Structure formats: C-alpha cells, structure tokens
Structure 1
Amino acid sequence: MTPSTAPWARFTADEPELAATVEARFAAHPHHTLATLRRDGSPRTSGLEVRFLGGELWLGMMPGSLKALDLRRDPRFALQANPGEGTGMGGGDVRIAGRAVEVEGTGPEEEAQRAAYVEEVEPPQPFHLFRADLSEVVRTAVEGDLLVVRVWRPGEPLRTLRRA
C-alpha cells in the first residue's frame, strides 16, 4: 500500500454508507469492466468478476490472462460496475481506481488469503489473485433533479458535488 492508496477496509471505515452502496452496486451484476494499461501505455478493457471478502476487494483472473500480465507490469487499474440493463442506472454509476497487489507468495499470510478466496469463490485452478488498494472511489447518481457525484480518496474528506 502506498500513501495515496488504502485497502477496502479503510474505505469502509471512513465512509460506511458509501461503501455499502458501492458493494451493492457491484453485487447487482456479476460482470464488470476492468481497465488496465498495455505495455505501450494504451488502455485495455476486460470483463471481470470481483469479490469483497475479509475487508478487501479481490480481483481474480485466469492464469496468463492479458489483464493479469498488464497488472503485473503496471499495477494501476480502473474498475467500473456493470450499469445493468437499459439506461436507468439504478444505484448510480460506480467507479474505483487504484493499484492491484498480486497475492503470489508462499508465506502464511498469502496462503491464508488465497485459501479464503478459494473457499468462497471456488475459482478454476490455477489463477491470479490481486488485492485492490484504492486511490479513488466515485459514485455518480441522479437524486431528484440533481446529478450528485461523491468522491472518496484516502486521507481526504468525502467530496460531494451537485449539478442541476
């Protein structure tokens, strides 16, 4: 974790209501969009399932997938919740940015994290597992006649922007 990032548990502690809304938005649909950076610096978008387990946001991937290779080379990512059917955007639009930290070691902590993930998710073996360290969480929603944007960043107060 770098000074400008924080684990999911920190976000949940700082902004429990917003964190619950974000988790519900991701739970509404299984597949979401992950943006990574290719070797040449251009963006790559890929489908992805995410899990919130043990106070962390987890990104699991097939072995050798391009998105996993992108994250190994450059851990920066952006994640957008599936907007769902139609244009209603029930629950608002949710985006997360941060750095992905691969869990690949053989120490007791890494093995325990992988075991907990496997028990809950039952992923095909082998797989890449990344923990998300957050640099920003954004929720955009229509509330009445206003567009309301809430932005959380580690170490900063929640910002709320309203536009007519």
Structure 2
Amino acid sequence: MTTWSRFTEEAPRVAEIFTRRHRAVGNLCMLGTLRSDGFPRISPVEPRIFEEMLVIVGMPGTTKFRDLARDPRFCLHTATVDTKVSDGDAKLFGTVVDLPARDVHARFAQDLFDDIGLDIRREEFDHFYVADLTGASTVEIVDDHLDITIWKPGEGERVVRKH
C-alpha cells in the first residue's frame, strides 16, 4: 500500500503542489468515482491528511461512498479556480481501503474537532476510506512552457515539458 508518507518521499514535488492547492481552496477537491452503470461521477470532497494517511470520508449514505464501496478506484483532483493554472494543479489516482479501526476513527474525529470545530466525536463512520495511491500528476506553467510531473510507485517523479 502506498501511504501518504511513502508518496511524499517518492514524489515530493507532486505532494507539495497537491498540498498547496488543497489548502488554498479550503481542502476542497473533486473526487472521480465510477457509478453502478459504469459512467464516471464527479463529487466534491474534503480529504484530509491524518496520521500519514490520505483519508477520504464524508457525509454517510452519499452516492460517492456507495461508488467506492462497490469499486474502490478513484481520481482526486485539486479544485481549479484559475483557468491559467498559474498556481499549479494536481491529480491523485488510486484505490481506497475501508479502515474499520474504531480507535483511528476516534482520533480522526478529535483531530477534526481540534482543527475546525466540527464535532463528530460521538458518531460512527459508515466508511473510513484510506487512499492507496497508484499514480499522480501535476501541471505547472513555468515561464513559456508547461511542466507535467508524473509519479508512479517505485518509479519516482518524471517531468514532461510541453512548449
């Protein structure tokens, strides 16, 4: 499993751009999943980095989480508000693993309360999805060209330059 900590070691540039863009828009990302009929679904989500894991949780009973329960593949895209992508853009790919550890859930809920004041400390999670990253990419405008940084586990980062 490629955890967040392993990802940041192998892909420091991609991780930095993802983290910066993720924070810049209040942790909002767009989550791509597959619907039961095979068509893609795009949904807003606020993933969190917690205890060296990328955690994707949210309101219980939503279709995006039913999608992930059926097919764990996902794409997570930082919310882009600038059509010129002047601050970069990032996408993460992978699968999710449902982590049933109640002690982790409790620590996560406490961390969420301490960080933003959202109190879900007495609630149970339908699903507690942790990302197993299988790939990532970023786009950056650098001077007169576009740099696309691509990462796959065990291969490090590589940059494709487009003029």
Q: TM-score scaled to structure 1, two decimals?
A: 0.86
Is 2:128 the partner of 1:129?
Answer: yes
Give unmatched runs, 5+ long, in structure 1.
Answer: none
* Pairwise CA RMSD: 1.6
Q: Following superposition of structure 1 onto structure 2, how do residues 3-152 of structure 1 map, counting pairs within 5 Å?
A: 6-30=2-26, 31-84=28-81, 86-103=82-99, 105=100, 110-122=101-113, 124=120, 125-127=123-125, 128-152=127-151
Task: Give the superposition deviation at 1:89.
Answer: 2.3
Is the CA contact (8 Å cut-off) linking 2:14 and 2:137 kept in structure 1?
A: no
In the TM superposition, what whole-angstrom CA distance separates every residue of 1:107-153 from its partner, at most 9, and x where no partner exists?
xxx12321221012245434332101101111101001010000111
Counterpart for residue 156 of structure 1: 155
In the TM superposition, what whole-angstrom CA distance separates every residue of 1:27-54 from its partner, at most 9, and x where no partner exists?
1112211010111111011110011111
Q: How many residues end up aligned between the 2 structures?
A: 154
Give unmatched runs, 5+ long, in structure 2.
Answer: none
Tell me the distance in 2 between the aligned counterparts of 1:27 and 1:162.
26
Q: Which deviates more from structure 2 when the two are superposed, residues 21-30 or residues 37-46? A: 21-30
Tell me the distance in 1 between the aligned counterparts of 2:13 and 2:89.
16
Tell me the distance in 1 between the aligned counterparts of 2:110 and 2:12.
26
Give aligned-pair identity as a percent: 34
Tell me the distance in 1 between the aligned counterparts of 2:156 and 2:79.
26
Q: Which deviates more from structure 2 when the two are superposed, residues 16-25 or residues 31-40? A: 16-25
In the TM superposition, what whole-angstrom CA distance separates every residue of 1:78-121 from its partner, at most 9, and x where no partner exists?
0100113x424242111011001112x2xxxx123212210122
